[in-house]
Homo-oligomer: A and B are copies of this chain.
Amino acid sequence: MSKPDAALPTPRPVAAARRKAAGAAPARRGRPPKAQAKAAGETRELILDAAEDLFSKHGFYGVTIREVAREAGVDTALVHYYFGAKRDLFDAVFLRRAAVWNDERVAAIDRYAETAGEAMTLEGLLEAFLRPPFEWSLKGGPGWKHYAALVAQTNANPSFGGETMARYFDPAIHRLIELIAKVLPDASEVDLYWGYHNLSGALTLTLGETGRLDRLSNGLARSGDLETAGDYMVRFAAAGFRAVVGMSPRQP
């Protein structure tokens, strides 16, 4: 019934093993061309961009410093010069967009809450909270798409970036839950946390854009169709939140 041969991300041997397997160009002889002079801070950003891309696809251990340098078009030693240890590079990547990402989401729900006033709805709130990341992932350039996948990965396994995630993402989530509580006054805090947990999983899986859904549905639904994903998610989660109200008794 299912077609076990559709396109899935290919397994990825670490840097050199992959180059070998791919029968890649025989490692250009002689001097590599000197890098052109870069604008101030540009090298730093190039490295972050490359690392963001690779970490989001292969995880911390699946990426080598050499690979990052190669994709960034800079020398290996420069990566250490700018960021120190590999782990620090990862943290820098995750940190770079964390504040923007969350400030924007908080601003969006606050703006919505103020505009809507008494007419505030659950769907409206979720829409305001979910749409910014989807929009960035779609239209913010490749960096934002990679970052979205990195956030998804970190949410699913906080071994790397967990600290940063808790520091920057949790306050935004708390604000959302606070506002949902106004719309669902009978919900307990526990109800809302479990509700958010369910939403969070869906969001994470969506931002990862793994292609699983494409294959499962034989192309009927596409992982990368974030517009549609958002529409379904808002409806699905709003109904879900309402359905779990009252499952745990409220604290007195």
Instruction: Give the Cβ gap from A211 to chain B, nearest Cβ, in Å.
Output: 7
Question: Which residue of B is nearest A165, CB measured?
Answer: B212
Give the complex CA separation of A172 and B157 in angstroms: 26
Give the complex CA separation of A157 and B169 in angstroms: 22
Q: Which residues of B contact A243 (CB under 8 A)?
A: 235-236, 238-240
Q: Choose one: B11, B205, B232; the contact of A159 (CB below 8 Å).
A: B11
A residues 35-61 in Cβ contact with B at 8 Å: 57-61
The reply on A186 being an interface residue by CB < 8 A is no
Q: Choose one: B165, B204, B220; the contact of A205 (CB below 8 Å).
A: B204
The reply on A203 being an interface residue by CB < 8 A is yes
Prevailing SS type, chain A contact patch: helix
Taking a contact as CB atoms under 8 Å apart, the answer to whether A12 and B244 are in contact is: no
| A contact residues, range | 35 or more
The reply on A137 being an interface residue by CB < 8 A is no
Q: Which of A93-101, A106-114, A138-146, A148-156 binds B?
A: A148-156
A residues 218-242 in Cβ contact with B at 8 Å: 220-221, 228-229, 231-233, 235-242
Taking a contact as CB atoms under 8 Å apart, the answer to whether A171 and B1 are in contact is: yes
Q: A residues engaging B (CB < 8 A)? A: 1-2, 4, 6, 8-12, 14, 57-62, 87, 152-153, 155-160, 162-163, 165-167, 170-171, 173-174, 189-191, 193-206, 208, 210-213, 215-217, 220-221, 228-229, 231-233, 235-244, 247
Could you name 18 residue pairs across A and B whose Cβ atoms are closer than 8 Å? A6-B166, A11-B87, A155-B205, A156-B157, A156-B204, A156-B208, A158-B210, A165-B212, A173-B216, A174-B216, A189-B217, A189-B220, A197-B213, A197-B221, A197-B229, A231-B247, A236-B243, A240-B243
